Amino acid sequence: MNVPADHRLPFPPDFRLVLASQSARRHSLLRDVGIPFTVVLSEAEEVVSGEPAAELAEANALAKVKRARMPVEPEAGTFVLGTDTLVTIDGVVMGKPASAGEAAAMLEALSGRTHQVVSGVALQRIGGAGRTVAADRVEVASAVTDVTFSRLDRGQVESYIASREWKGKAGGYAVQGLAALFVTEVKGEYSNVVGLPLCLLGRLFRRLGFDLVQRTWLEDGL
């Protein structure tokens, strides 16, 4: 099979992105748009209660950046990215289900209704000499996408639970898998539902001095 040539501009050699996430979905999204990155663990614990969903997601994302386990001291100009995705409906925040029963209850709550997928994104630029800023800078923001599910019957819920796609997924589903068959409408960034709002990410990079489309440093963050 012929693979289409990639005519996108290359990244400069001094571009470095560290992703504080083990999520295969986020890895795939970054690769889809050609962004090079390395992965590290984060010691942050996700919180799913006590605050509105956007505030929780942003706080979790920032904690992942702050508690990223960097193998070595990062070079000046390095970006560190943390993301957290939650699902909310009727003011109830849904994180990752701990059991098949909890996942089934989440799907039943979402059945035939519109819910919100909220992703918090935290992007840090390590400060230092040269073209980089003198001190660390951090941008934090969130994206919200409305997702509408068709009405699910018991057999559909049970079959989806048996697929195990719910494991590790906020709201108990993965839109890029079987659950795509449940979705009747999406309003907002689709990539946000997958786990990383790429349009928002691009804006945060520009604020910190780098354009992901042009693959170039900016004189000042926008």
Sequence-distant (6+) residues with CB within 8 A of 206 are 212, 218, 221, 222
Q: Is the Cβ–Cβ distance between 116 and 146 less than 8 Å? A: yes
The Cα–Cα gap between 95 and 213 comes to 32
Q: Is the Cβ–Cβ distance between 156 and 119 less than 8 Å? A: no
Q: Determine whether 110 is exposed, middle or buried from the number of CB atoms within 10 Å of its CB (0-12, 13-18, 19+).
A: buried
Q: Is the Cβ–Cβ distance between 44 and 66 less than 8 Å? A: yes
Q: Is the Cβ–Cβ distance between 44 and 63 less than 8 Å? A: yes
Q: Is the Cβ–Cβ distance between 111 and 156 less than 8 Å? A: no
The Cα–Cα gap between 48 and 6 comes to 40
Which single residue is written with the structure tokens 């786990």? Answer: 195
The helix/strand/coil state of 182 is: coil
* Residue 55 main-chain phi, psi, to 5 deg: -70, -40
Sequence-distant (6+) residues with CB within 8 A of 115 are 87, 88, 89, 146, 147, 148, 149, 171
Residue 84 is among the residues annotated as catalytic for this protein:
yes
> Which entry of 6, 32, 84, 146 is annotated as an active-site residue?
84
Active site residues: 84
